[in-house]
Amino acid sequence: MRNAPTILHLDMDAFFAQAEQASKPSLRGKAVVVGGLGPRGVVATASYEARVFGVHSAMPMAQARRRAPHAAYLVPRFAFYRSISEQVMGLLRALSPLVEPLSLDEAFVDLDAGRAAWDSDSARLAGIRLRDDIRAVTGLTGSVGLASCKMLAKIASEQAKPDGLVLIEPGTERALLGPLPVRTLPGVGPATGDHLRRAGITTVDEIAEAGEDELVRLLGKAHGHALYAMALARDDRPVVAEREAKSVSVEDTYDVDIHDRVRVELEVQRLAGRCVRRLRGSGLSGRTIVLKVRRYDFSTLTRSETLRGPTDDPGVVREAAARLLDSVDTTGGVRLLGVGVSGLADFTQEDLFAQAAEELADGPEEEHAEEPAGDVPVPVERQWRPGHDVRHAELGHGWVQGSGLGRVTVRFETPESEPGRVRTFRTDDPGLEPAEPLPLVSSKPHGAGGAPAGEPAAEASREVSGEAVGEAIGAAEDEVSGSSGRGGDISVVEFGNSP
Ligand code: DCP
Ligand code: MG
C-alpha cells in the first residue's frame, strides 16, 4: 500500500436519474425513478429526492410506485447514459493511463501513475478539479474518494455522496475503518455477514481483534486471509487499466458446502440476478449464459447455453441458469456457484425495442425485410416511450410524458430551457417524430462535440408551469386515458396538484 492518497474512486450520483433530471428541467429537484415499467419491472435507480421515500435500486417497480406514487417514472435510455459515461471516462483518462472502469458511472484512477498527484494536497486538488470538469462537460455531479488503496477510495466516495469529495489521510485508515460494519469490506455479502455475526463479529475492529487464525477457521483459508488483511486496511490490489470485457460474471464461495438442492437453485437465481445487474450497469447485453459449479471435491464444471440474441433480461438469464443447473448433479455438496454472461453486445434490449419502434416510424417496411434481427418484436404502432425525446414540427423539442389510448403527452422543454408545458397529441400525429437526446451542456470547453446549431432551446419556455412533485408521469397517463379529444388537433392538458 502506498503512503499517499493517490488512488481515486469516482462514482456519479444517482447516475441515470440525474441524467434525466439534467435533460428535463421540469424534473429537477423532484422524485424521479428510472427502470422497467412493465409488470415485472425493477428500479434501476432513483433520484435522491425519491430515495427519501425508501425507493432504491433493484426494488420491484410496483413497490416503488406504492412508496412514491407522485414520482416521475421513466424507462432507461442506455445510449444516452453511455455517451455521458464516455465523456466522464475521457476526463479520467486525461489524468492517468491507469483507469479501471467498474460500470458506466464508476471507475478507479491511479493518479500517481499519471503524475496527476503525489501527496495529499495534490490529490485533493486533482479531485476537486475533476469534479469541476465533470460538471462543466456533462452538467452532472459525481462523488470522489481519495485514499491510499482501492478499498478505502471506494469507501471514501460512498461517504462523500452526494456531490462531495472525501480524502482519507494516510495513517488514519485503520481508525476510520474500525467502527464500520463488516459488510463495508469487499467480499462480505449477506451470507458471510451473517456467519460473522453468529460468531459475535459485527465491526471491522472485531475482525482485527478475532485474529487471522479465527478468521481462517470461520471462513476458510483464502477468504479468511483476504478479509483479515482488508480489516487491517491492507489492500495492495493495483488499478488495472481497462481491458475489453469478454464476459460479465459473478460467483460466490460458500463457507459451508451447500447440500440442499432447493438452496442451490435459489443461490443460482440470486447470482443470475446479480450478474444481470452488473451487465446492465455496464450498458451491455450478452448471448451466452454460463453456469459454474465447484463441487465438494473441487471438481469444477461449467455449462453454457447460447440464446438467439443478446439479452439483459433478468428473467431470461434466470431461466437459462436454472435449465443449466438441471443438468448438474450436486448431491455431494457445492462449494462455489457462479453465473456469467458472455458473447457481449454493446447495447441492450431496451435499445433494440426503441430502435425497432423508431425504424418503423421512420421508413417503409420493405427496408427492414432483410434485417437479420428476426427476433426483435416489431411494434404495430409507433411507440412513444415515457422519457424519450421527440420533436414537433412547430413546437420544437420535448419528451414523452405518457401515452395510452391513442394519445401521447409531450412536455416541451430542453436541457437549457425553463420547465416547459405539456401538450397532448394523437399517437399518429404527423407533426411528431422521435428525436435524439440533446447535449446536456451546449458549450463544450473541452471540445467534446457541441449543441446542434440553431437549436431553439427556449422555444417552449414562454409559459412556465409551476407544478410541484404531483405532476407525475403516472398522473399524465391517467389524464390522457381520460381525455376524449377528437381529431388530430392539439389539446392542452395541464397537470397540477388538482384537489
Ligand atoms: N443500476 C441498475 N441496476 C442496479 C444498480 C444500478 O440498472 N441494481 C444502474 C443505474 C444507476 C447506475 O447503474 O444509475 C449506477 O449505479 P450506482 O450503484 O452507482 O447507483 P447510482 O449512480 O444511481 O446512485 P449513487 O449515487 O448511489 O451512486
Ligand atoms: Mg453512482
Kindly tell me if the per-residue pLDDT of 155 is higher than 80.
yes
125 and 144 belong to one structural domain: yes
Looking at 286, 314, 347, the residue that finishes a domain is 347
189 and 268 belong to one structural domain: no
Which ligand is in closest contact with the Cα of 277?
1
Residue 498 forms part of a structural domain: no
- pLDDT above 90: percentage of residues in the chain: 64
Q: Which of 100, 106, 206, 471 is catalytic?
A: 106
Please, are residues 115 and 94 in contact by the beta-carbon 8 Å criterion? no
Q: How far, in Å, from the CA of 429 to the mean position of ligand 1?
A: 36
105 and 22 belong to one structural domain: yes
Atom of ligand 1 lying closest to residue 13 CA: 26
Reported as a single tens digit per residue, the pLDDT across 15-41 is 999 999 999 999 999 999 999 888 888
Closest residue to atom 3 of ligand 1, CA basis: 44
Which ligand is in closest contact with the Cα of 275?
1
Q: What is the domain-level CATH number for residue 252?
A: 3.30.1490.100
The dihedral sign for the CA sequence 253, 258, 261, 262? negative
Domain total for the chain? 4
Kindly tell me if the per-residue pLDDT of 348 is higher than 70.
no
The per-residue pLDDT for 191 is: 83
277 CB near ligand 1 (under 6 Å): yes
pLDDT classification of 284: cutoffs 50, 70, 90? confident
Q: How far, in Å, from the CA of 396 to the mean position of ligand 1?
A: 31
* Beta-carbon-side half-sphere exposure of residue 218 (alpha carbons within 13 Å): 24
Known active-site residue 106: yes
Reported as a single tens digit per residue, the pLDDT across 94-107 is 999 999 988 889 99
HEC assignment per residue over the chain:
CCCCCCEEEEEECCHHHHHHHHHCHHHCCCCEEEECCCCCCEEEEECHHHHCCCCCCCCEHHHHHHHCCCCEEECCCHHHHHHHHHHHHHHHHCCCCCEEEEECCEEEEECCCCCCCCCHHHHHHHHHHHHHHHHHHHCCCEEEEEECCHHHHHHHHHHHCCCCEEECCCCCHHHHHCCCEHHHCCCCCHHHHHHHHHCCCCEHHHHHHHCHHHHHHHHCHHHHHHHHHHHCCCCCCCCCCCCCCCEEEEEEEEEEEECCHHHHHHHHHHHHHHHHHHHHHCCCEEEEEEEEEEECCCCEEEEEEEEEEEECCHHHHHHHHHHHHHCCCCCCCEEEEEEEEEEEECCCHHHHHHHHHHHHHHCCHHHHCCCCCCCCCCCCCCCCCCCCEEEECCCEEEEEEEEECCEEEEECCCCCCCCCCEEEEECCCCCEEECCCCCCCCCCCCCCCCCCCCCCCCHHHCCCCCCCCCCCHHHHHHHHHHCCCCCCCCEECCCCCCC
- Other C-beta atoms lying within 10 Å of the C-beta of residue 30: 20
Kindly tell me if the per-residue pLDDT of 486 is higher than 50.
no
Atom of ligand 1 lying closest to residue 46 CA: 23
314 CB near ligand 1 (under 6 Å): no
332 and 471 belong to one structural domain: no
Please, are residues 9 and 101 in contact by the beta-carbon 8 Å criterion? no
Closest residue to atom 20 of ligand 1, CA basis: 14
Looking at 331, 347, 363, the residue that finishes a domain is 347
Distance CA 200, CA 216 (A): 15
Q: How far, in Å, from the CA of 43 to the mean position of ligand 2?
A: 14
Q: How far, in Å, from the CA of 129 to the mean position of ligand 1?
A: 23
85 CB near ligand 1 (under 6 Å): no
Which ligand is in closest contact with the Cα of 163?
1
Q: How far, in Å, from the CA of 23 to the mean position of ligand 1?
A: 18
279 and 222 belong to one structural domain: no
Kindly tell me if the per-residue pLDDT of 81 is higher than 90.
yes
Which ligand is in closest contact with the Cα of 51?
1
Residue 12 forms part of a structural domain: yes
Q: What is the domain-level CATH number for residue 207?
A: 1.10.150.20
165 and 291 belong to one structural domain: no
Q: How far, in Å, from the CA of 193 to the mean position of ligand 2?
A: 24
Annotated binding site: 11, 105
60 and 140 belong to one structural domain: yes
Kindly tell me if the per-residue pLDDT of 413 is higher than 50.
yes
Kindly tell me if the per-residue pLDDT of 282 is higher than 50.
yes
Looking at 127, 143, 171, the residue that finishes a domain is 171
* Alpha carbon separation from 95 to 10, 59, 111, 142, 401 (Å, rounded): 13, 36, 7, 16, 39
Closest residue to atom 21 of ligand 1, CA basis: 14
Site to probe by mutation for ligand 1, drawn from 9, 45, 47 as the one with most ligand atoms within 8 Å of Cβ, is 45
The per-residue pLDDT for 298 is: 83
Residue 296 forms part of a structural domain: yes
Beta bridge partners of 344: 286
25 and 156 belong to one structural domain: yes
Atom of ligand 1 lying closest to residue 12 CA: 22
Residue 47 forms part of a structural domain: yes
Residue 369 forms part of a structural domain: no
81 CB near ligand 1 (under 6 Å): no
Mean pLDDT computed over every residue of the chain:
83
Tell me the three cell numbers of residue 11. Answer: 462514482
159 CB near ligand 1 (under 6 Å): no
58 CB near ligand 1 (under 6 Å): yes
pLDDT classification of 243: cutoffs 50, 70, 90? low
206 and 132 belong to one structural domain: no
Site to probe by mutation for ligand 1, drawn from 49, 57, 144, 278 as the one with most ligand atoms within 8 Å of Cβ, is 57
Residue 395 forms part of a structural domain: yes
Of 363, 283, 271, whose CA–CA distance to 317 is shortest?
A: 271
167 and 185 belong to one structural domain: no
Q: How far, in Å, from the CA of 186 to the mean position of ligand 1?
A: 17
Distance CA 145, CA 127 (A): 8
Residue 308 forms part of a structural domain: yes
Q: Bigger pLDDT: 13 or 464?
A: 13
Using the CB atoms, write b or e for 292-302: b if 16+ within 10 Å.
Answer: bbbbeeeeeee
pLDDT classification of 476: cutoffs 50, 70, 90? very low
Range of the domain at 450: 389-492
The per-residue pLDDT for 472 is: 30
Distance CA 229, CA 247 (A): 29
Reported as a single tens digit per residue, the pLDDT across 195-216 is 999 999 999 999 999 999 999 9
213 and 68 belong to one structural domain: no
Q: What is the domain-level CATH number for residue 51?
A: 3.30.70.270
The per-residue pLDDT for 285 is: 85
Tell me the three cell numbers of residue 362. Answer: 421512420
Residue 401 forms part of a structural domain: yes
280 CB near ligand 1 (under 6 Å): yes
Tell me the three cell numbers of residue 316. Answer: 431470461
The per-residue pLDDT for 475 is: 32
Q: Is the peptide bond before 162 cis (omega within 30 degrees of 0)?
A: yes
The per-residue pLDDT for 458 is: 33
201 and 163 belong to one structural domain: no
